[in-house]
Amino acid sequence: MSTADRGELALLVPGGRGQLGRELQRRAKGVAGLVHAPGSAELDIRDAQDVSDEVDSFAEAARDNNLRPVVLNAAAHTAVDAAEGEPELAAAINVDGAAALARACARRRVPLVHLSTDYVFDGTATVPYEPTDPTGPRAVYGRTKLAGEQEVLAAAERAWVVRTAWVYGAGGANFVKTMVRLAGERDTVTVVDDQIGAPTWTGDLADGLLELAGLLAARRDPAQRVLHCTNGGRASWFEFARAVFAEIGADPERVLPCTTADFPRPAPRPGYSVLSPRAWAEAGLSPLRDWRSSLADAFVQDGPALRGEA
């Protein structure tokens, strides 16, 4: 597969202080000629004028340095339960902010990769979701993310939506860190066993997104504009928790199963949200490895951060 030499890439990563944004920045630094990853204090995507100015100056910096610009949008309102109580804020970021970014990218002819989520699905499937399958978000977060996808695709011809799921990594709060902490605090931990998905490490996801950015920079555009990118395989949260316990040398039997009904949350979650990698592979992109292999590697590479020691 031919991609642009990644050294020719210039990357703008809104949401650069988030879990994925940090990892993208970390991995891109070694391979891209220019990386700018502003946090929300530096670039608030709700401010359309600031977004436009930021994309302008990024595109000009890329041009001046003879680099090929790509925007990877990692900014989002991701607090799934909090979104139920603040739908306007979630929409301002996930819909209007995403749309402003797409319009600015379209105006400067800069390709955009916009991150989205498995929560756009209702979770009633029993086989992995294809990007073309009907959506049916069950909560504010998923509804705003879906509306954001639609705005982005309508606003920019060279925009791609990448849905991912169950993300964990060194930066930010996540399920793995929570399980490590609870393993140290409690004798037993009860975790839901009836929600199925694919745990996805930011390290592998960032590498996949950088591969996609390389394709776009080389104008080898994927024909499908909605893609799915998660680690391979499937697990329940309970199985995932047991695997985390095993990684840190804790007894997995200390993790006990329960049902979603035992743990009501403000926002309903999809019961099944495994995402098919078929379109990703058809675009010539490398499917991510199985989640268990990633989890082991995550503890090798990001152990101190995942264990709360860094």
In the complex, which residues of this chain contact ligand NAP (CB under 6 A)?
A: 14-15, 17-21, 39-40, 43-46, 74-78, 93, 97, 115, 117-118, 145, 164-167, 172
- Residue 67 CB, shortest distance to ligand NAP, in Å, is 23
In the bound state, the residue with its beta carbon closest to ligand NAP is 18
Question: Least distance (Å) from ligand NAP to the CB of residue 49?
Answer: 13
How many angstroms separate the CA atoms of 146 and 116, rounded? Answer: 8
Nearer CB in complex with ligand NAP: 43/295? 43
Write out the E strands in the chain. 9-12, 34-36, 68-73, 112-117, 159-164, 167-168, 189-192, 196-197, 200-201, 226-228, 235-236, 255-258
Residue 27 and residue 203 in contact, taking contact as beta carbons nearer than 8 Å: yes
Q: Residue 137's CB: how many other CB atoms inside 10 A?
A: 21
Minimum CB–partner distance for residue 195 and ligand NAP (Å): 13
Q: Are 128 and 112 in contact (CB under 8 A)?
A: no
Minimum CB–partner distance for residue 171 and ligand NAP (Å): 7
- Count CB atoms within 10 A of the CB of residue 284: 14
Q: What angle do CA 80, 278, 209 make, to 5 degrees?
A: 60
C-beta separation of 226 from 303 below 8 A: no
The residues annotated with a catalytic role in the active site are: 141
Residues near 70 by beta carbon (within 8 Å), at least 6 away in sequence = 9, 10, 11, 12, 110, 111, 112, 113, 213, 216, 217
Minimum CB distance to ligand NAP smaller for 14 or for 270: 14
Closest CB to ligand NAP among residues 80, 283: 80
Give the C-alpha separation, 199 to 292, whole Å.
Answer: 9
Q: How far is the CB of 276 from ligand NAP (least distance, A)?
A: 15
Smaller CB separation from ligand NAP, 51 or 250: 51
Helix axes 98-107, 140-155, angle to 10 degrees: 10
Residue closer to ligand NAP (CB basis): 31 or 48: 48
